[in-house]
Structure 1
Amino acid sequence: MLAYTQSGKVLELIDTGKSGGEGTVYNIKGYPNRVVKIYNKASDAKSREEKINAMCEMSESSTFKNSELTKDIAWPMSPIYDKKNNFIGFGMPAIQSSIELEDLYVYPHNPSRSSAVSIYNRVTALISLCDTIKKVHSIKQIIGDENPNNIKITQSFEAKLLDVDSYHISYRDKKYKCPVCAPGYVAPELAKKCKGTTYEEAPGETFTEYTDRFSLAIHIFRMLCNGAHPYSSKVAKKKVGSTPAPKPIDHKVEKGECIYFNNSKGMEPPPYVPDFNSFPEYIKNLFKRAFVDGNNAPEKRPSETEWKVALTKFRSELVPCKKDKNHYHHKSLNFCPYCEADKRYKESKGNRLSTSIQARTPALQASQHSYSNHTYQYPTTPTTTSSNSPQKSSSFTFWVITIITAILSVVLLGSLVLPNMYNAIADNNSTITTIGVIGGIISGLIGTISYNLAWSFGRYKGGAFPWYDYLLSFLCCIGFSFGFGLIMGIVYIIFYLIIAFIILGIIGFILGG
Structure 2
Amino acid sequence: MSITLRDPAGKSVQLSDTPFAQGGEAAVYDVPQFPNVVVKHYHKQVLENRANTLRAKIEAMASDPVLNRFKQHPALAWPRFSVVDERGQWRGYAMRKATGVRMNVLAHAIAYKKHFPGLDRPSLVSYLLNLLTTIQVLHVAKVMIGDYNPANFLCDPGSNKVTLIDCDSWQVTANDKSFRCPVAAADMLAPELLGNELGKIGRTLASEHFSLAILLFKVLMLGRHPYDACGGASPVENIRKGYFPYGLGGGGIPKGPWFNIWSHLPYKLKEQFVRTFKDGVSNPANRTTAAEWIELLTLYRHEMDKGWHSTEISPAMPKPKDYRGTQSISQPLVPEKQ
Name the TM-score class by shorter chain. Answer: 0.7 to 0.9
Out of 242, 245, 254, the position equivalent to 1:256 is: 242
Structure 1: 4+ residue segments shifted above 6 A? 333-337
The corresponding residue for 2:129 is 127
The corresponding residue for 1:185 is 188
Shift of 1:277: 4.1
Output the CA distance in 2 between the equivalents of 1:113 and 1:164: 24
Output the CA distance in 2 between the equivalents of 1:102 and 1:190: 23
Output the CA distance in 1 between the equivalents of 2:266 and 2:113: 30
Q: TM-score, normalised by structure 1?
A: 0.56
Output the CA distance in 2 between the equivalents of 1:42 and 1:25: 16
Stretches of structure 2 that go unaligned for 5 or more consecutive residues are: 319-338
**Higher-Rg member (1/2):** 1
Out of 75, 84, 89, the position equivalent to 1:72 is: 75
The corresponding residue for 2:333 is none
Instruction: Map 1:165-176; keep pairs closer than 5 Å.
Output: 165-176=168-179
Change (3 A) 1:111 1:142: closer
Residue deviations 1:180-224 (CA, integer Å, cap 9, x gap): 112421111111x51xxx3224xxx34222222112111211222
Output the CA distance in 2 between the equivalents of 1:336 and 1:144: 28
Instruction: Map 1:331-350; keep pairs closer than 5 Å.
Output: 331=308, 338-340=315-317
Change (3 A) 1:87 1:109: closer
Given the alignment of the two structures, is residue 104 of structure 1 paired with residue 106 of structure 2, yes or no?
yes
Change (3 A) 1:45 1:124: farther
The corresponding residue for 1:215 is 211
Code of the aligned partner of 1:222? K
CA contact (8 A) 1:45 1:87 kept: no
CA contact (8 A) 1:67 1:138 kept: no
Instruction: Map 1:306-321; keep pairs closer than 5 Å.
Output: 306-319=292-305
Output the CA distance in 2 between the equivalents of 1:334 and 1:171: 43
Q: TM-score, normalised by structure 2?
A: 0.83
Out of 283, 298, 301, the position equivalent to 2:269 is: 283
Shift of 1:81: 0.6
The corresponding residue for 2:33 is 30
Shift of 1:148: 0.6
Change (3 A) 1:147 1:307: same
The 3-state SS of whatever aligns with 2:133 is helix
The corresponding residue for 1:94 is 97
Change (3 A) 1:303 1:68: farther
Change (3 A) 1:255 1:30: same
Query: How many aligned positions are there?
Result: 314
CA contact (8 A) 1:228 1:270 kept: no
CA contact (8 A) 2:121 2:311 kept: no
The corresponding residue for 2:256 is 271
- Tell me which moved more, 150-159 or 166-175: 166-175
Shift of 1:179: 1.6
Residue deviations 1:351-370 (CA, integer Å, cap 9, x gap): xxxxxxxxxxxxxxxxxxxx
Shift of 1:108: 3.7
- Tell me which moved more, 146-155 or 53-62: 53-62
1 or 2, which has the higher helix percentage?
A: 1
CA contact (8 A) 1:231 1:258 kept: yes
Residue deviations 1:321-375 (CA, integer Å, cap 9, x gap): xxxxxxxxx606799971216xxxxxxxxxxxxxxxxxxxxxxxxxxxxxxxxxx
Output the CA distance in 1 between the equivalents of 2:45 and 2:147: 23
Change (3 A) 1:28 1:295: same
Stretches of structure 1 that go unaligned for 5 or more consecutive residues are: 236-245, 321-329, 342-513
Change (3 A) 1:222 1:170: same
Instruction: Map 1:216-231; keep pairs closer than 5 Å.
Output: 216-231=212-227
Change (3 A) 1:142 1:171: same
Output the CA distance in 1 between the equivalents of 2:88 and 2:312: 64
Out of 125, 130, 142, the position equivalent to 1:140 is: 142
Change (3 A) 1:96 1:82: same
Change (3 A) 1:277 1:60: same
